[in-house]
């Protein structure tokens, strides 16, 4: 542990009653449906356990086989919300593969900025990393936003524990509207990420490979690249702000866990908070511990904490921290902690809001990104 590392707080900012409570949706599948999923599922299909997927598969196959045009493409992007990311075989993984097929079919028709599926060579891969980085890329339709050499500013979007590449159409549209390219890929231990989830340095190698590809591709203004990490992706965004500070003009860490998030006192209660299911089994799988939740709880903070591993003591690029003060998954203390180390930071916290600070958060993120991008013109 770093010499000045703080112990886990005795009392969390969210207050004892909020920290201790078990949210209503954990009572049963029926409660989960009624409190969290009924309204979203009017627009999408969520195969929330393995057996349920077979009931929905004919719908997915019809979408893949059916005709699609500009008028129907939006419906295809809402085919279903991804199943749990830790399952790399069986019906849930099949659901993920079908989702990508449906989404690609729709994205190919988006004019004038169609979806590009790019397998970026993972030239810096080592150990248990795989050799390519499946990525979605979209570029603006005109010279709007380009620099003098005809290259586009870009935003690297790091996805979360359950939200992946096909779940960010709106964000990529927002980037394109501002003249920025969108480059989207998953974080270690989820979906198609090639990074070894058990190796804390594996995301650094992924970014090295992505930047090498961007330079070789030639469409991107490497002096104006931002990174936005969502939820679990916020952790990797904070890391990138330090490890790749010379390559990133700015970083948004949105709902980030950095140190206290890995504490077993916190995780013991986080299982009953916003996440639809038990959080700790999902996190153990995501971080390379398989089904060994006990070892994850004992070992994760030592291995992954950005404080204990010394990352936070390094200087960083410009870094915006965004979250709700009552986030029950990634404690607000993990954003506040960053103000005690390294370079000065910026933040927007939303009092009483839950994980990610929705629905208010984006109203702070996009103006900040615009200001940072404009600072180099």
Are 248 and 348 contained in the same domain?
yes
Report the percent of the chain where pLDDT is more than 70.
Answer: 72
The two structure tokens encoding residue 307: 């404080």
Please state the φ and ψ torsions of residue 135, each to the nearest 5 degrees.
-140, 145
Residue pLDDT, tens place only, 336-363? 999 999 999 999 998 988 787 878 888 8
309 occurs within a structural domain: yes
Q: Which residue has the higher pLDDT, 93 or 325?
A: 325
Are 117 and 164 contained in the same domain?
yes
Q: Is 355 assigned a catalytic role?
A: yes
Strand ranges across the sheet with 220-230: 116-121, 132-138, 181-185, 152-158, 220-230, 250-254, 318-324, 346-350
How high is the pLDDT of residue 304? 96
Are 223 and 351 contained in the same domain?
yes
Are 201 and 332 contained in the same domain?
yes
Of the candidates 129, 192, 196, 327, the residue annotated as catalytic is 327
For 306, residues 6+ apart whose C-beta sits below 8 A from its C-beta are 235, 238, 239, 242, 258, 259, 312
Last-in-domain residue among 57, 92, 109: 109
pLDDT above 80 (res 87): no
Per DSSP, the three-state class of 254 is: strand
Are 132 and 94 contained in the same domain?
no
How far CA 258 is from CA of 69, 206, 217, 274, 347, in Å, comes to 43, 19, 33, 18, 15
Predicted confidence band of residue 147 (pLDDT cuts 50, 70, 90): low
* CA gap 283, 185 in Å, rounded: 19
Q: Which residue has the higher pLDDT, 72 or 376?
A: 376
Q: Is 287 assigned a catalytic role?
A: no
2 occurs within a structural domain: no
Q: Give the DSSP letter of residue 276.
A: S
Average pLDDT over residues 121-140: 97
191 occurs within a structural domain: yes
Residue pLDDT, tens place only, 177-215? 999 999 999 999 998 999 999 999 999 999 999 999 999
Are 100 and 195 contained in the same domain?
no
* CA gap 166, 23 in Å, rounded: 28
Last-in-domain residue among 109, 134, 155: 109
Of the candidates 172, 305, 355, 364, the residue annotated as catalytic is 355
Locate tokens 């998953």: which residue?
A: 186
pLDDT above 50 (res 140): yes
How high is the pLDDT of residue 215? 97
Last-in-domain residue among 53, 74, 109: 109
Task: Lowest mean pLDDT of 78-87, 90-99, 257-266, name the range.
Answer: 78-87
How high is the pLDDT of residue 217? 95
Are 77 and 138 contained in the same domain?
no
Contact 319, 236 (CB under 8 A): no
280 occurs within a structural domain: yes
pLDDT above 90 (res 175): yes
17 occurs within a structural domain: no
Instruction: Give start and end residues of each alpha helix (H) in the chain.
Output: 16-20, 29-32, 53-65, 73-76, 90-107, 169-177, 202-217, 232-243, 264-270, 279-286, 293-304, 333-336, 362-374
Handedness of CA 20, 26, 28, 33 (dihedral sign): positive
How high is the pLDDT of residue 29? 54
Residue 80 pairs in a beta bridge with 45
Are 159 and 287 contained in the same domain?
yes
> Residue 360 half-sphere exposure, CB side, CA atoms within 13 Å?
13
Report the percent of the chain where pLDDT is more than 90.
Answer: 51
Could you check whether the bond before residue 226 is cis, i.e. omega within 30 degrees of 0?
Answer: no
* CA gap 46, 66 in Å, rounded: 20
How far CA 215 is from CA of 38, 92, 119, 178, 287, in Å, comes to 45, 36, 15, 21, 30
pLDDT above 70 (res 328): yes
The whole-model pTM stands at: 0.82
Q: Is 231 assigned a catalytic role?
A: yes
How high is the pLDDT of residue 360? 81
How high is the pLDDT of residue 280? 85
Contact 86, 41 (CB under 8 A): no
Average pLDDT over residues 282-300: 91
Average pLDDT over residues 253-273: 83
Are 354 and 368 contained in the same domain?
yes
How high is the pLDDT of residue 3? 46
Locate tokens 């010279």: which residue?
A: 143
19 occurs within a structural domain: no
Are 69 and 179 contained in the same domain?
no
User: C-alpha dihedral over 22, 23, 25, 26, to 10 degrees?
Assistant: -10
Q: How many domains does the chain have?
A: 2
Are 192 and 340 contained in the same domain?
yes
Task: Give the domain CATH number at 287.
Answer: 3.40.50.1820
5 occurs within a structural domain: no
- What residue numbers bound the domain in which 142 lies? 113-374
Residue pLDDT, tens place only, 14-62? 555 566 565 555 545 565 556 555 555 544 444 444 445 445 555 555 5
Predicted confidence band of residue 222 (pLDDT cuts 50, 70, 90): very high
The two structure tokens encoding residue 36: 């969290």
Are 91 and 43 contained in the same domain?
yes
Of the candidates 231, 232, 316, 335, the residue annotated as catalytic is 231
For helices 53-65 and 90-107, the axis angle rounded to 10 degrees is 20
99 occurs within a structural domain: yes
């Amino acid at each position: 542990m770093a010499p000045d590392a703080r112990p886990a707080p005795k009392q969390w900012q969210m207050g004892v009653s909020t920290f201790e409570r078990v949210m209503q949706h954990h009572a049963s599948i029926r409660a989960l449906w009624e409190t969290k999923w009924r309204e979203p599922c009017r627009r999408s299909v969520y195969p929330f356990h393995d057996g349920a997927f077979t009931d929905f598969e004919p719908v997915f196959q019809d979408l893949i086989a059916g005709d699609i045009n500009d008028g129907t493409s939006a419906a295809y992007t809402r085919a279903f919300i991804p199943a749990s990311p830790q399952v790399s075989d069986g019906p849930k993984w099949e659901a993920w593969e079908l989702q990508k097929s449906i989404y690609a079919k729709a994205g190919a028709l988006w004019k004038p900025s169609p979806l590009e599926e790019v397998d970026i060579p993972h030239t810096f891969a080592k150990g248990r990393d795989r050799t390519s980085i499946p990525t979605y890329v979209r570029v603006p339709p005109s010279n709007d936003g380009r620099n003098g050499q005809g290259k586009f500013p870009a935003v690297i979007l790091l996805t979360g524990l359950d939200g992946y590449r096909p779940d960010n159409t709106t964000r990529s549209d927002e980037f394109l509207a501002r003249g920025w390219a969108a480059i989207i890929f998953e974080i270690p231990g989820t979906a198609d990420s090639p990074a070894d989830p058990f190796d804390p340095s594996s995301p650094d190698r992924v970014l090295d490979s992505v930047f090498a590809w961007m330079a070789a591709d030639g469409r991107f203004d490497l002096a104006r690249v931002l990174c936005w990490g969502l939820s679990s992706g916020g952790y990797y965004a904070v890391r990138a702000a330090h490890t790749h500070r010379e390559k990133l003009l700015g970083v948004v860490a949105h709902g980030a866990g950095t140190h206290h998030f890995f504490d077993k006192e916190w995780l013991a209660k986080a299982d009953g908070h916003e996440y639809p299911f038990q959080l700790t089994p999902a996190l153990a799988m995501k971080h390379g511990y398989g089904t060994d939740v006990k070892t994850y709880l004992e070992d994760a903070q030592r291995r992954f904490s950005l404080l204990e591993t010394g990352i936070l003591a390094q200087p960083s690029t410009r870094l915006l921290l965004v979250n709700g003060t009552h986030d029950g998954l990634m404690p607000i203390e993990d954003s506040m902690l960053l103000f005690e180390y390294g370079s000065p930071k910026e933040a927007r916290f939303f009092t009483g809001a839950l994980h990610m600070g929705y629905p208010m958060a984006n109203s702070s993120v996009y103006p900040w990104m615009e200001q940072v991008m404009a600072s180099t013109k």
